[in-house]
Amino acid sequence: MSVQYTPVIWNRNKMFYDAVLLIAIALYLYVFIRVAPGFEDVTKPIDGAILRMRAFGSCAFLMLTIILCIGPLARLDRRFLPLLYNRRHFGVMTAGIAAVHANYVLGWYFSFSPTDKYVALLSSNTSYGQLLGFPFESFGIAALLILFVLAATSHDFWLSFLGAPIWKALHMFIYAAYAFVVLHVALGALQGPADPIFTSVVAASVILVSGLHFATGRMEARRERGNETAKASLQQEGWLVAGEVDDIDDDCAKVVTLSDDERVAIFKYEGKLSAITNACAHQNGPLGEGKVLWGCITCPWHGYQYNLADGRAPEPFTEKISTYRLKLIGSTILLDPNALPPGTHVEPVEIGAAA
């Protein structure tokens, strides 16, 4: 079976996000190209092509810096989450800006080369055995290729087609792209005439990206230690580790066996978790194999329904089944094996609000 293609559905948030991003990019390029040269103290104005080349190159570098800062910022403060939700659009635009920069480089330095400009780019400097004069262009090409691959696979079609683990691993190459860009700049632009502003920007970018990821790593480590302590405490009280949230597909259940005649179905639905006995009150049908509709589970044998929060059948029916308490520590689900009386309401666990 093939993966179905689903077109991008634009909403107000996406359009606002992209509009702000495009305005910010246009404003930066305008200031860099039209306004900034007026403040330079030079005897000979910088050529327009070189100025545009630098404008798009620096813009792509700053955009890549921001992209890598959004993730840790969203972990440190949830108010940054709106930036995270549409970060793929940011990445696609960054690849486009970087491509324009590369086009200006080829047009300025290699348009009049007697050989093909791409061949000239790769063969004009082959001093790979030395640091000074190293062919920094190769790092820029590698970064651009990575950005193109990530932009081309950013659609949810590829997430579904490749699977989350492979897709996520692929898009982690954004860090390699950033490293290549830093090397491209450090061995290229920063080797020319001293430019304290640009040097400071590059150094600040590296410190900011590294610092935010270090701070996030420390926070996650502290949180993980706290989660382990909480899990150990609950297990001492008799709670059982039932598995991980990602082990359960949306609107499906994981069945946990407590004893030969007692099984619990843990359902994941609408961003929540609930646990009920796996046995239908009618003829002990396997509720964990049923379908979730409007917060109710439908028994696959005879269609009996129960509200997942309290185990009660919708009115006017009166059937009731046992419910169980759950806790979510990090991404780990813990289950209280002691069944509650049939029909007892248990507040569903919000997945996004995990400790």
Determine the average pLDDT of the residues in 86-97.
Answer: 90
339 within a domain of the structure (yes/no) = yes
Determine the average pLDDT of the residues in 58-72.
Answer: 95
Residues 213 and 254 in one domain: no
Residues 195 and 274 in one domain: no
Domain end marker among 195, 222, 249: 222
185 within a domain of the structure (yes/no) = yes
One-letter amino acid identity for 345? H
309: domain CATH number is: 2.102.10.10
Coil vs helix vs strand at 23: helix
Confidence bin at 27 (pLDDT 50/70/90): very high
150 within a domain of the structure (yes/no) = yes
* DSSP conformation letters of 290-326: SEEETTEEE-TTT--EEETTT-BPPTT---B--EE-E
Domain end marker among 173, 188, 222: 222
Residues 294 and 180 in one domain: no
Q: How far is CA 90 from CA 44, 65, 83, 133, 280, in A?
A: 36, 11, 9, 33, 49
Task: Give the model's pLDDT for residue 1.
Answer: 41
pLDDT, tens digit (0-9, with 9 covering 90-100), for 150-200: 999 988 888 888 888 898 999 999 999 999 999 999 888 777 666 788 889
Residues 69 and 179 in one domain: yes
Residues 125 and 209 in one domain: yes
141 within a domain of the structure (yes/no) = yes
pLDDT, tens digit (0-9, with 9 covering 90-100), for 341-351: 999 999 999 88
d(Cα 160, Cα 166) in Å, to the nearest integer?
Answer: 10
Residues 213 and 265 in one domain: no
Task: Give the model's pLDDT for residue 163.
Answer: 84
168 within a domain of the structure (yes/no) = yes
Determine the average pLDDT of the residues in 53-72.
Answer: 94
Residues 39 and 173 in one domain: yes
Identify whether the C-beta of residue 277 lies closer than 8 Å to the C-beta of residue 337. no
232 within a domain of the structure (yes/no) = no
Give me 165's structure tokens: 């683990």
* Domain boundaries, position 105: 12-222
Domain end marker among 171, 195, 222: 222
The domain total for the chain is: 2
Task: Give the model's pLDDT for residue 50.
Answer: 84
Q: What is the pTM of this model?
A: 0.69
98 within a domain of the structure (yes/no) = yes
Query: What's the whole-number average pLDDT of the chain?
Result: 85
